[in-house]
Structure 1
């Protein structure tokens, strides 16, 4: 396998090896990147004071450096005491409910990625601004340039983690129910997929907003009915 081909494939580890429903797994870097590009909310799994905690938070990815930036104050406090602790970041998109003829065959169409690694706290300097910009632009492209940048005091109160995209597991499921060709196909029951769509609605102005301030174009574009994930 050439170096270029290796760079296009995820390295398989004991944590990321697909053991069940292997046909739904992928080792393509492009599939991981597509899942990460499609969202901005993740769940950060970390051990805090000896107990597991899963925290919903926002993320952004610097694809040039293969770095995942995660906003995580709880994890940052825990990692001060356990700097070599491994965390798990999960991103999931639900695309549809698969309603079959039998309850056993019901399922969910989804795209998901799990990223493992030892995060590095981003404590200041240019990288903290860079990481915050990445996270902000992942949520609302154009907002970093539009809004006021953080002050030094605000940066000091901000916790950001950097995690390499070196160890990840990707799985997806799509398509109709799988019981149409079996005995349940003769039951005369409806079966199919109920799609799930995520989208941004029309922007709602802050009640304290003075009259005459228009919605900026990049925010209006978000609320034009486009998909949010």
Structure 2
């Protein structure tokens, strides 16, 4: 992960994290990214799930998708993980605790079927660990209808904010108001079966084990 003019933080520099491991931690804990791309001269920001390996972020969609249409151009992808709401003595000092990443670059089309399957596996396993080997995998027709982008993680910035409010040394700290952090907890809930399932169809173990967990958190 290298620093460039557009990844260099100009405000809140103490929140910057320059190590590749910090970027991978955000990607592991995140679930939805936002793809910023220019479509027909207009900026479009699209929420979507993703997959990744230590060097590459993978995005997918229909070949008919406007956001993935045409030759890939420069894009910006963001991932944000909300960890808590910071409640200060004054409204001005309120904040949130978060981990966030911004990734810049020109994505490449993944066209080889073997590479497509590998990327789709990464996306599927990030969203629902264990599901790739349990479900039927894509056939040729489905692969042909799917477009995949591969975006290098080489140009990215990571920001992290943690801890309590910053007004402990202010005059407001003497007025007796409570201040602190309200953690935000995210986790999978109890599986809800498809009503069309035959009676008695068991929940697979990898799904039954998911409630209470979250990617990158265990």
TM-score w.r.t. the length of structure 2 is 0.94
Q: Return the structure number with greater helix share.
A: 1
| Residues 177-188 of structure 1 aligned to structure 2 (within 5 Å) | 177-188=165-176
2:36 — aligned with what?
A: 45
Contact 2:28–2:215, Cα closer than 8 Å, also in 1: no
In structure 1, stretches of 5+ residues that fail to align are: 1-9
1:81-100 matched pairs, under 5 angstroms: 83=71, 85-100=73-88
Q: CA RMSD in A?
A: 1.2
Cα separation, 1, equivalents of 2:66 and 2:175: 51
Q: Which runs of 5+ in 2 are unaligned?
A: none
Conserved 8 A contact 2:89-2:177: yes
Which residue of structure 2 aligns with residue 67 of structure 1? 56
User: Given that residues 60 and 135 in structure 1 are in contact (C-alpha distance below 8 angstroms), is that contact kept between their aligned partners in structure 2?
Assistant: yes
Aligned partners of 2:96, 2:142: CA distance in 1, in Å? 41
CA shift at 1:228, angstroms? 4.8
Q: Is the 8 A contact 1:39 1:138 kept in 2?
A: no
Choose from 104, 113, 118 the match for 2:101.
113
Distance in 1 of aligned mates of 2:187 and 2:113: 35
TM-score using structure 1 length: 0.90
Structure with the bigger RCO (C-alpha within 8 Å, sep 6+) is 2
SS at match of 1:177: coil
Whether the 8 Å contact between 1:40 and 1:60 is mirrored in structure 2 is no
The count of residues paired between Structure 1 and Structure 2 equals: 213
Deviations 1:74-101 (A, max 9, x none): 3321xx1xx3521011110000000111
Cα distance in 1, alignment partners of residues 130 and 81 from structure 2: 23
**Deviant stretches of 4+, over 4 Å:** none
Give the 5 Å matches for 1:1-229.
10-63=1-54, 66-72=55-61, 73-77=65-69, 80=70, 83=71, 85-223=73-211, 225-228=212-215
Distance 2:66 2:132 in 1: 24
Task: Tell me the distance in 2 between the aligned counterparts of 1:57 and 1:24.
Answer: 26
Partners of 1:71 and 1:118 in 2: CA distance = 15
Alpha-carbon separation, structure 2, partners of 1:84 and 1:134: 21
Question: Distance between the aligned counterparts of 1:160 and 1:108, measured in 2?
Answer: 33
Compare 32-41 and 92-101 and name the one that shifted more.
32-41
Measured in 2, the distance between the counterparts of 1:142 and 1:189 equals: 47
Instruction: Report the CA distance between 1:38 and its aligned residue.
Output: 1.4
In structure 1, C-alpha distance between the alignment counterparts of 2:84 and 2:177, rounded to whole Å: 19
